[in-house]
Chain A
Amino acid sequence: MNAAVLVFPGINRERDMARTLKIISGRQPAMVWHTDRELPAGTDLVVIPGGFSYGDYLRCGAIAARSPIMDAVRAYAAKGGLVLGVCNGFQILCEAGLLPGVLMRNENLRFICRDVYLKVERSDTPFTRGYNAGQVVRVPVAHGEGNYIADGETIAKLEGEGRVIFRYCSPDGMIDPDWNHNGAINAIAGIVSERGNVLGMMPHPENHVEASIGLTDGRGMFAGLVEALDRAA
């Protein structure tokens, strides 16, 4: 795995992400500064980590989406390269036009940090091959604006094409408003692009990979990615 982690001013989970990529893949990812215009040669995974790029001023992700490096990311994604956006990374991908929809303020208007349960809808993507379809995983969220919404047509398309990859659910996998902490439409926690190579998700799998710190349900995503990339190489 030759991962590149993008760093915008105000991003603050880049160290968490880099550490996790190193733990799972054994390789230190490249940290790429927002003013760069090219990704490092040989990059096979671009990761946009969480945080508050540009302070979330204007709109979450709006300014970062217009950074010089994002042109390179668009070109890379257009060629089918894998892009993972987590939390602020998801918001940036939506603002950059790489994924549809927007993330609004949480329904209760408060920032929420807690473990949530996710239902993995598909295991046949490079991001989720480490899980089984229908599996329930427990990972943390930490966001104030994770309430996913898009127009009815877009949602119908996402659902019809099986592009909703993760949904908030109860511990036994039921889709239930009581377990949808931010009020996202259809309990959507993560979606992929039309080609399936760009994933945006609000929860932080990178924070649940070490048994000594807590749970390890996040490992599946990164282990699956390593496997997918090894197979492709």
Chain B
Amino acid sequence: MNSLIPNEIPITPALIAEHGLKPDEYQRILDLIGRAPSLTELGIFSAMWNEHCSYKSSKVHLRTLPTKGPHVIQGPGENAGVIDIGDGLACVFKMESHNHPSYIEPYQGAATGVGGILRDVFTMGARPIACLNALSFGAPGHPKTRHLVGGVVAGIGGYGNSFGVPTVGGSVRFHSRYDGNCLVNAMAVGIARKDGIFYSAASGVGMPIVYLGSKTGRDGIHGASMASAEFGEGTEEKRPTVQVGDPFSEKLLLEACLEIMAKGCVIAIQDMGAAGLTCSAVEMGAKGDLGVALELDKVPCREERMTAYEMMLSESQERMLMVLKPEKEKEAEAIFHKWGLDFAVVGETTPTKRFIVRHHGETMADLPIKELGDQAPEYKRPFVSAAKHKAIDADDIHAPVGIAEALEKLLATPDLCSKRWVWEQYDHIILGNTVQRPGGDAAVVRVEDGPKGLALTTDVTPRYCEADPFEGGKQAVAECWRNLTAVGAKPLAVTDNLNFGNPERPEIMGQFVGCVRGIAEACKALDFPVVSGNVSLYNETNGKAILPTPSIGGVGLLDDFSRSATLAFKRAGETILLIGETTGWLGQSVYLRDICGREEGAAPPVDLVEERENGDFVRALILDGTATAVHDLSDGGLAVALAEMAMASGIGAKLDAAPTDIPAHAYWFGEDQARYLVTLRADAAQAVLKRAQAASVPAAVIGMTGGGEALALPGEPPLPVKTLSQHFESWLPRYMAGEL
């Protein structure tokens, strides 16, 4: 058997290192197959065992996340998570990073990130109905930032707009810790019939394995390995490992796949994402306890004289692998040809549990399939927890400017300003189901013809995670839950996209472990299971890591989308109610950072019991029609939330004096958690306060809407809403135009 595998290229330690394999990992390969691997086999191992595909550093911790719940149909481990939303329908969703490629080639990196996550969703039989994203860029003053923002946003739009899915929400942040590594996390959400979900495990021996979609080229070779290494000098030279997206082909692939699924042709399906043909074929076989034999001469190629090594590692986009019912092969082929896509039988399932690759009549690889997939190395990497930051006493923080001035400044900061410049480049209305467009707490989309609706959001506060990974992990989940609640949805489940630095450094591993613990705790307490996710490590350049950024994408359900709440004030003369406890927590606040120039202190603690009680109370006010507007409090605290409600409506507000036991700047800008602003008709206020008291939910009347078209904070000059909007809307367009 060994002699069948030609090995004209000697496997040297340098070659092994180039493939990202450590000496002990190579030894593991030798032990596993009892001989030196061929070059193709070495490539296959490097593709399967890199961090990106194998989760070798994170797996042991990911197992601690809660993944089950009454409505969970499929948790992590498939192309995407699946939850039951009633009426025979399922929601399929996942978030995934495309960080490294986006830094090297922002347009294509981001575009193919969107393409990849959409494929994950429709591979499971779902028609995509919405996309979201979470983007982190370096400091605005860094010479690469503007170029990256422009390219990434255009790439996300370019792919999603053409594919025909609305991009309805997301987040954009800036921080110098992302100077050398931007983050592009893309989330896709789809709807399938509950009885029409497709999985990746092959079944049956001798079944045809079919290659579908675009042709294979030399693009993206070693993309997954690149995503598993730090950046250093010469990163730009990795441009050839970034794939090129073709949303047109993906749209055709979507329609063709859904059509052959509806016709009952498909046994198993797996998209070719990271590590392309290798990863998809191995996963289908390994999950089905079957072997797979591939005939590479049959793979549709875009370029001439491609080697087995290149074909197995190519990350050309818009490709799928399927196991078809043999009797349906002709029917499936006709559908694919109708859509002008390649269709080729490239192999079959075997009873041997071997992964065999043949090319030009020669066996190029012959490996044990389970060990390649399920038995990749797994590490319990050492970790240390960073020392806790000391809580900051608001009395020790001197307010450098007045409240009104600080508010105007904050609204024009990179993190808090309007992101209209970004989301207007995304078609957010296509499909005709977008009930709440970008700019609110969560996007709301109608499900089919209604009345159900889904609320969608992505959240994380990296500076909290840096200061306290555990509380930061909790907060990311809690804020996601809060945003879904603020539109009136019942939060159902999350997808997590965990972005960190080099896990071989114990302090980075400590951040990872802390955040995962926090996420697990919050998801358990809020009955908010994790059903899919992705880990992106090695987001680090020349030893400088990103802020720990565990993005949380949440899905909530509205029984009637038309009852969803929005944040805009509705009319003058309504009572403004603050729900939740306010202590004036300034540690790690945006105010402390952007007004006082200090990034310090402990992150605000998240009390998950309070979180749940306050949220349930607010949701009930929305669903019984009492609340007229709702907004969650997050970055920038109370004053910024009030300004956002005013700007969304053009209606002002007159606020009562701050309580005397909290310094004014801490009251207006503190970032205590589990808080909401709710407006009510004035005559409903007393009854609601009584209800709050009965539910032991802190609630206080803090002012009234109206009072001219200005936000009047006590003791401060009134701020015309129009002026606030100018501050809010102008920073990003001016920055992108090079004026700032």
Interface positions of A (Cβ within 8 A of B): 9-10, 12-13, 15-16, 19-20, 51-52, 54-57, 110-114, 140, 142, 144, 204, 206-207, 210, 212-214
Contacts and interface: CB of A to CB of B under 8 A. Distances in A.
A76 B505 CA distance: 70
Contacts of B425: 110-113
A142 B161 contact: yes
Contacts, number: 84
B161 A54 contact: no
A19 B432 contact: yes
Given A10-B252, A20-B432, A111 B158 contact: yes
B650 to A, nearest CB: 13
Interface string B324-345: 0000000000000001100000
Chain B interface: which size bin? 20 to 34
B248 A12 contact: no
17 contacts: A10-B251, A12-B430, A13-B164, A16-B432, A52-B247, A55-B247, A55-B248, A55-B249, A110-B154, A113-B428, A114-B424, A140-B429, A142-B430, A210-B432, A212-B435, A212-B561, A212-B562
Interface of B: 154, 157-158, 161-164, 246-249, 251-252, 339-340, 423-435, 446, 450, 561-562
Nearest to B254: A12
Contacts of A16: 430-432
A111 B247 CA distance: 15
Contacts of B426: 111, 113
B248 A57 contact: yes
A142 B427 contact: yes
A148 B562 CA distance: 37
Given A10-B252, A206-B432, A213-B435, A51 B164 contact: yes
Contacts of A52: 161-162, 164, 247-248, 251
Contacts of B164: 12-13, 51-52
A208 to B, nearest CB: 9
Contacts of B161: 52, 111, 113, 142, 144
Contact of B246 (A9, A55, A112, A142): A55
Contacts of A140: 429
A10 B423 CA distance: 22
Contact of A213 (B154, B340, B432): B432
A87 B141 CA distance: 38
A16 B154 CA distance: 24
Nearest to B561: A212
A16 B246 CA distance: 23
Contact of B162 (A10, A15, A114): A10
A57 B339 CA distance: 17
Contacts of B430: 12-13, 16, 142, 207
B248 A9 contact: yes
Contacts of A55: 162, 246-249
Contacts of B247: 52, 55
Contacts of B423: 113
B450 A212 contact: yes
A112 B420 CA distance: 10
Given A16-B430, A142-B427, 5 more contacts: A10-B252, A12-B163, A54-B248, A142-B429, A207-B430
A204 B435 CA distance: 16
Contacts of A213: 432-435, 446
